[in-house]
Structure 1
């Protein structure tokens, strides 16, 4: 992600100044736009000049790129909104990536790397003014793209383009501390570092359907430049050489009067605050929304209490996903540790479920449970043990666990993970990717 904007020296000698096709050609049906029409070169990334559905000729033209291409990468669970910022951009055109005009960008309308990886800049030129220079912005698709659709990814930075087809969508993509939803997959478009922010263009219509943002470099798991795929059940998989992009159609629900408005009804971008209808004081919770704060521990100790020093990015044992995990125990002496978080189970939840992944690593031998682990649900003065483990449950990888929380609908409870070691031989209890969903 972030590193993909840095240019390896070997790449400079190979492709700087080139305006060649790096993969299969785009469909000849895309006749309205030449390959590099409305493609933008930034100082560290690529981008595109786009036009939202309903935009007026008198609106200031907008440039689309990645959230990690702005001056300072947004931290997880943060966003930038309506911020004055001066930046220059070069608009390319034709099949030879020649310079058409220069743009001044004066406002960062929105940027985030939470749920997606997107940034929208406003320029000082209107669409009508650009039309006098024979520049037409590319339309932004308002619907979900189709699997197996032919795509073209033109890079303004490298002046190269990459043609292939979508090969599916990823339920959740994790990269370091960042999570992106419903990402676009494509494996034969080998987009290099520096191509971040390049538009994913429908090869037939020339419409922008996404933004190229990351790919798996060297086979590592869930780290920056090595994203991992997480399915709806929480299973993690890695695919070296796979490239990914973020869909752009959700942006269209947040656009009005020439700008991004997070208060619009139907806007689902991170940070959106649409007004809730007064007739529904208890809205039905989204089934797969995690009701816990920082359940993957990627934001440090946020949301958790107890022995918070157990939350770590230490690489001795890998996390299940991302870089961080909870590492309880592993001391080799008599000690007890715990981590806890309170959560409210909605009264109208259908099948509230706690899910977590754990791994046990031990130096103990024999058949006795010397070191123990437990998960308790604390409901007021009542405590119920819903899961337990010991050194006898050692495993080479993480194991998925689920707990039915239906008995706690409409109540606030505390989830508590605890471990207790004896005086000799360490046992580590690793916990990651904890979630509570309404179902």
Structure 2
């Protein structure tokens, strides 16, 4: 008999109380300038946590606070034009990056802007402690009463019951005098709510360390991704590690000794006085993971570990310092927070420094998160919110997703998506112009861009602090994927320098250009199996693995040919505009292109063509569409020097004269007959007990839930009429007694044996969620849809399925 269903709970750490006794006179006694008509509100300066937390009292008037006042960039249209040109092959600016002084002179706040802000803050009684070298951040401190006066918003203590956490925050948007509104973009430090978390999922405090390595070492991941064939070791390249904790140099040395690695000593760069190395905290394993993976990929690269306070102000100041120092050509970021829980004004301030990084030729690789498409799962917004992780969502970062890598010795074998790899759609940033290609949709920025191994089941051997002493741990998470790509960028930058070419710089425009070219299949491993909660993998780009994982040597060659030389050929493909067709009606469309070099022959290729169509090497698309569809077609032209150009357009194919009668094809779709037929199921699956409610009606398919090793399956075969669009959907409820973020029990959904998605105990949530998949590719065929649930030997997980449908139209 199946056990009673259990609600999934998560143990949440109680963070230190950051406000003093609430019995002291509060800052609300200070006069508020809010009512003045001469003040302007600064949007997005209130943490979203205020909306779902209980206000306790105003902060004590004398409590000291520190704030970061962010100043606006100037000439933003010209800056956007420069950033596009500096990463676009064939432009005069291509590869000609700016120095920090040049950037500040052209686009940064002026000295007069800084002086105006300093004068205002001082007049409110605040002490200005520092101004960032790029003039984008003015740091100041004072009492809560002075902060209230300066920014016209009450500072209060709040209690977040869900996280059992007390924090302080401003009750309403910060305001500034109207004369500062054109200068100031935001104020951070008014709340201490947002805390960046690591993106690895190992638990060194509960897992006993090993005496010898277990998991992938450098020879395996370097060999699998051909990193060892790039021909460089990172010599002369500096990489910044973006950290909110510290490390033990002895642990890093042990890793080096184990694998015979030698390179420059790792150096700490303190931000705002932070230096954790004498007593690292819970994030020590993250810092050491980042360093050891970069060392394993690019052993001779110099690593600078930037350590900052874990706060909005700390993150803003770290970003500004890295770009102002201008010591590195690569930044590796494995910390983040979900967008809905992060103050938008703080994200904007950090992103402005990321713009400067792009202008200076600095590549940034950020972990996409370890909670799938529900990045707020372990934070207040919760698992029901589709969300992505910042900073990976910044258009100037390359977001790195996660896979499960299988190797044969030290060679690549196969790869699938990691089921909890971060990915989805940003609500903060619009889709940049370079984000195009098969699978790229919508108007907002999507992540990730690329991926590499991250599943803890195929984890990395890392030497770090265990529960009582240092030892070997197996780490997973996109925290391992981001430094792997950062190490790759270091290898590439060394190779580019030897060839007299520019550093990689902002990577995404070049990576997307290659992914949309004929070189895609030889430069990336396209991962096409697996999913996260809301997005399946696809051919080409997807919101689980991006464009896939690197074939490092071939990718470096393609980048050198198309992404690292300030001069070269420019190939342009003429966009034919939106195309329409009908099933059964022949198509003939000639594409054309031009080349800046004379005597070149262009060879054409295409991705995303409707079924039944193909393109010739001369650019002519012909054939007869065989199924209704709407999608993005990308046509790429390549010349004899391997210079490429591409264009994308929408192609819609309708059902045509043969038509398609709308219908729902599945029999007994809601299981309400009380028996399985025409489904084929294992025993006891169709059920009407009260232990697990149906989505509607009384009956449903209840798979697994025994708390012992067990496999259940549900399948049905139907025929999809030719020329029809087909959509398969169902409602799913996952209930589990498992805890943590390891997938122990799994439900795989397939169509004719091809995986559409995988769910697990990690996806447990209250209530049903509808899932939907496009099966139009099976038009004119029989298709078997199947659910297969596998439960391990302990702790139940129930997969409840109801109200299925396979609709054609």
Query: Which has the greater radius of gyration?
Result: 2
With structure 1 as the length reference, what TM-score do the two structures score? 0.34
| Greater RCO, CA 8 A, separation 6+ | 1
Bigger strand fraction: 1
Bigger helix fraction: 2
